[in-house]
Amino acid sequence: MIIGAAVGLGVFLLIRALVPGRRSAAGTVAQIDALRELGPYGLDAQQQNRTFKESVGRKVAEFYARQGWQQRSLRSDLALLDRSWESFLVTKVGLAASGFIGCPILFALLWVAGIHVSVELPIWLALLTAALFFLLPDAEVKRDAKLRREDFRRVVSAYLDLVSMNLAGGRGVPEALMSAAEISDGWAVRRIRNALADARLSGQTQWAALETLGAQIGVAELVDLGHTLALTADDGAKIRQSLSSRAETLRRRELSEIEGKAGQQSQSMLVAQMLLCIGFLIFLIYPAIAQIAQL
């Protein structure tokens, strides 16, 4: 009964996910926004010239858009890692398909070798393996994006100090922002420099470009910087003071996070040492306890 209920619930959820039903107004707006981000794409010569991998990624992305699954956090992580949404979806589908196909092949080889198992076992293992492989890229992207976002925050704190020094040297806000972004060639500074250059070419304000970049890659400090520059763009002294204080706040936050991680590692080492001591005490006491038990 439990297995039947689980199977029925799984089939119901699968049909509910694949067959679009009535959506709320917010879900419809989210679907329209996602389809607009994909852009116009029809069955023309360009689609025929695309590779099979790109075509599969486009189809899966369109399916996500029609269902209203935006995955904003995951898209921010991918933008931070310079990975496209379509290629990521192709990786997920490919891993799930390989996991689903690999288990029956393995059990077929075992059957040929003379090891007979139930027919239901490879089916369930194939479904579980496919689901696990489908979710593995999400965990990998979140892990890599977390580390890279921490590095980006460190760069932002140093970048604010450089902008503040350029402002103190008598430069204007646009010149100070671009000059501070041209000092280093690291990946984070390069992303900031490219955003500022694109804003100059498109006629957009540079603080709006920084705000857009921060929202795209999920770095709140960059969004706050854009808001601060937009509010105090006409007062150089106020901007310089605000940037200096913000950089100091970011450094203090980073220092507190480092201290917290060091404390967690110290506790982990303490637990490991306690386990070693307990094992050593058991090793010493066991002979005496064994002799007493024999008496």
Residues present in the chain in total: 295
- Whether residue 60 contacts residue 98, with contact meaning beta carbons closer than 8 Å, is answered with no
Closest CA to 42 of 58, 28, 20: 58
The pLDDT, as a whole number, for residue 41 is: 45
User: pLDDT of the chain along its 295 residues, tens only?
Assistant: 887 787 788 777 777 666 655 555 555 665 566 556 555 544 343 444 457 777 888 888 888 877 777 788 899 999 999 888 888 998 998 888 888 888 778 877 877 877 776 767 778 888 888 889 999 999 999 999 998 998 898 888 888 888 888 888 878 888 888 888 888 888 888 999 999 999 888 888 888 898 899 888 988 888 888 888 877 665 555 777 777 777 788 788 777 777 777 777 777 788 888 888 888 888 888 888 888 877 6
Q: What is the secondary structure of 40-85 as a DSSP string?
A: ---SSHHHHHS-HHHHHHHHHHHHHHHHT---HHHHHHHHHTT--H
Q: pTM score > 0.85 for this model?
A: no
Closest CA to 146 of 65, 81, 237: 81
Q: What is the Cα–Cα distance from 145 to 81, expressed in whole angstroms? A: 6
